[in-house]
Every structure is written in structure tokens, then in C-alpha cells.
Amino acid sequence: MRTLFKGTVVHGQNGNTYKIIKLISQGTGQGDIYKVINARKEVFAFKLFHSGTKDFNQRLIERLMRRGQVCEAFVTPLDIVEVDDRIGYIMEYIGLEYVSAAVLCNGIEKNGIIVNLPWGLKLALLARIVESFIILSNANLGIIDIKFDNIKLDLNNCQIKILDTDTIIHVNDKASVRGTVSFMPPDVMTKRKAPDKDNDSFAIPTIIFMSLYGSHPLDGKRRLLPCNENIDMYLFGTHPVYVFNPTDSSNRPLPQDEFGRNQQQTIDKHKKYPDYLKKAMEAVFVDGLYDSRKRPSMSDWLDILERLYNDSFVCENCGEEHFLDTKDKICGVCKQELLKPIFIQSDKAVPLFNGMTIYSDDIWATTAHYEVFKVVPTKYDGRMGLQLMILDRANLKLAGGDVKTFVNGEAIPIFLDSEIEIESHNIKFI
């Protein structure tokens, strides 16, 4: 296919002209992508198809344009362009502030070393991705070619963009595009089944797994087996086995293999990740491998991501995630002492973080919702304290038996072996 030169002017069907600035990517997927400007010097991207008949592509793009933009995260065609008997479309230009979502799995370079994205940011970005797919499925649309490179992230603003709009299909339409191998369910990989909206319920957890564990859920030590077929087809298509399959250990992650992969991180993370995450992954990669109905829904994944955030804290030294129920005294990654948050416990327990507000229904079995404490520094040698918010008074019972009364607005210092009496409630620290 002929590449369009810089300066070439192309004409949109709605009367606008666009000048080619440069080729952004060549031959990926079904077409080339160019950076272009219109007569008002506004920057856009222009995708020019390689294949497909003109009529087919024209209808595809028209339908996507009519459908409009269901969600800000999806990049939608704005104008149709015909060049050299080929069809293409104009879309929003995704600038350099956006990086491939592969950074969720691979990390980013910082001062010459590769570091993981901060845990909280990673969960927030994954939640953004899942939210976009909830909107998409509510609009009865599916994407059949989800992969890291089709999702772009603005790490500074926690924004996402989902590309390759021509692969957004109406779920009742026949699929026309083949997705990327390792994000497709096995039956689609082996072509026993055409790609359809059920791809999402497999691809999204694959992205979540790879982001959290740092490797692919079906890519373990079976990669080392002598094999007569393409090894990717074997692992992801014909003989898929979840690396943490509870009854089949034949594909466990390998600490170091001859491909230079090191899956020790995957093994370590699995040890500490909570059961609800493991169960959800098993529902996809064991029970739901061939049966999409057994896979968690997008809203289930959103709940799981929120729960992971609420149940975790990060090592103050290296940023590694840990879970509040951990028995570890040392961070497994940096080997420094692990400073676990202190919990306040009454009917319920919640971890204390500086600046947070604790509401009545956070700690008591009540439906009343009012501010009880704010976590603040106290005048007692930098110790954290609980500032009394709505209620008038509270008693602090020290370990030696002394009792001191605090009134509204005062901060009660936290001693791990003390107790607080407030109204009819007793509060402990754990």
C-alpha cells in the first residue's frame, strides 16, 4: 500500500480538508495512522484502511459515527476520507501525554530503572477501564479487540482512551476483526467460535491479571514443553491451563526460564492477594475458560478493584502493596520493616490514616451517619490522635487504669493499649 507523503491534502466527506503531517503507525491492525491538521490548524488522527471493500468500510464508519460517542474514553470517527480508492476516517488525536496501557504490566522507566506504577494509580486506571466497558455494554456494544496497545493512559490525569474504534461492534453484528491472540478466549483463538461481545469478559480480567501479577494468566511453565504447534496457540488456544489452577499444577509460573522471564513476582503476589481476587480469576480462567456465563461481570470487577483498594496499604519504603490482614513484619520486596496502619475497633474495625474522617456507621452497627473522629496529629510527641467531632465527650482509659476526659474538638492521643469510652461504646486499637 502506498504511504501518503507529508503535505498531502485529503478531503473529508463533510467538506473539510486535512493535511498529512506524518505517519504515526504503519500497517498495524487494518490500516496506517497519520497525524493531520485541518484548515484551522487543529490536530487530528487519520486512519486509512488497508483492506476491506470501500462500501463495507464506509458503512462501518457511518454506523460508528451515528452511534456517536457513548463514553469519553472511546475515540470515535469524526469524518470519512477517501484516498486512492481506499477509505479512512478522521478521529481525535491522542497526544504524547498518553502512553500504552502496557505500562500497567511492564512498569515505567524512572531515573533509568523500571518501576511499577503506584498501586493506587494502577487500581484507579483499571477501574476507569472497567467503567468504560460497563458504559459500553449498557449501550449494547462490545469491543472485540481489547489489548494493552489499544488502551492509552494519561498517567498524570488518570485518564484513559480506547482506540481502534472500527473494532467497536454492535453485539448482534457479525464480527469482522480478529483480536490479539493472548487476550482472546481459547475458543476464539482456535477459531471454533467467532469473536463476539463475550471477548470482553475474558480480555478485561486478562488485563487486570497482567497488571496486578505482571505476567499472563495462561503463560507458565508449559511454555517449555516440546510442542508441534505454535506455542502461543498451544498455551492460549488448544491447551490452556490457568497458572494457578487449583487442581492442575502443570502450568505454574516459573521463577526463571530460558526465555529470560522471571515470574517470581507473580508467585509472590499470589501468596498475598486476597481470596476474593483469586476466586474471581479462577471463575474466568478455570470455570469460565470456555463458558462466558461463569465469568464475573464488569460491575463485579469494579467492586473487586474498589475492595482491593480498601483492603490494602503500601510499603512506605518501596510502594509495594500489602493487605491489611498480613502477618508480615517485613516488606517482601525491599526487606524493610512494614508499618501497618493502626485499626480502630468497636462493632467494626477500620484502619486509621492521617487526615481521614471516621463516621458513626464506619465503626458502629448503626444506620446513623455522622462524623465521630478526625485523625489528626496531636501535641503529644507527634503521636496520631482522634479529634472528637460531633459528640460532646469521651473518656480515655489508659492501660494503668487512669481515665482522662476529652471534650468536643479536642484530640485524644492514640495509645495502642488504651481504650476509649464514647456514649455507650467501647473503642480499642489493634
Choose between 315 and 422: whose C-beta lies nearer to Zn ion.
Answer: 315
Binding-site string for Zn ion from residue 301 to residue 340, where x marks contact by CB under 5 A and - marks none: --------------x-xx-x----------x-xx------
Q: Nearest approach, Cβ of 165 to Zn ion (angstroms)?
A: 41
Q: Nearest approach, Cβ of 117 to Zn ion (angstroms)?
A: 15
Residues 185 and 165 sit within 8 Å (Cβ to Cβ): no
Choose between 126 and 331: whose C-beta lies nearer to Zn ion.
Answer: 331
Phi, psi of 232 (to 5 degrees): -65, -40
Q: Nearest approach, Cβ of 124 to Zn ion (angstroms)?
A: 21
Choose between 262 and 317: whose C-beta lies nearer to Zn ion.
Answer: 317
Number of residues that bind Zn ion (CB under 5 A): 7
Binding-site string for Zn ion from residue 260 to residue 299, where x marks contact by CB under 5 A and - marks none: ----------------------------------------
Q: Nearest approach, Cβ of 250 to Zn ion (angstroms)?
A: 33
Residues 144 and 167 sit within 8 Å (Cβ to Cβ): yes
Choose between 184 and 331: whose C-beta lies nearer to Zn ion.
Answer: 331
- All cell numbers assigned to 417: 493499649
Q: Nearest approach, Cβ of 390 to Zn ion (angstroms)?
A: 38
Distances (CA, A) of 143 to 107, 266, 282, 387: 25, 28, 23, 50
Q: Nearest approach, Cβ of 319 to Zn ion (angstroms)?
A: 7
* Burial of 155 per CB tally in 10 Å (0-12, 13-18, 19+): middle
Choose between 59 and 335: whose C-beta lies nearer to Zn ion.
Answer: 335
C-alpha 347/C-alpha 349 separation (Å) is 7
Choose between 331 and 388: whose C-beta lies nearer to Zn ion.
Answer: 331
Around 386, how many Cα atoms within 13 Å sit in the side-chain half-sphere?
30
3-state class of 200 per DSSP? helix
Sequence-distant contacts of 313-317: CB under 8 A, at least 24 apart: 313/340, 313/341, 313/351, 314/118, 314/119, 314/120
Residues of the shown chain interacting with Zn ion in the complex, contacts defined by CB under 5 A: 315, 317-318, 320, 331, 333-334
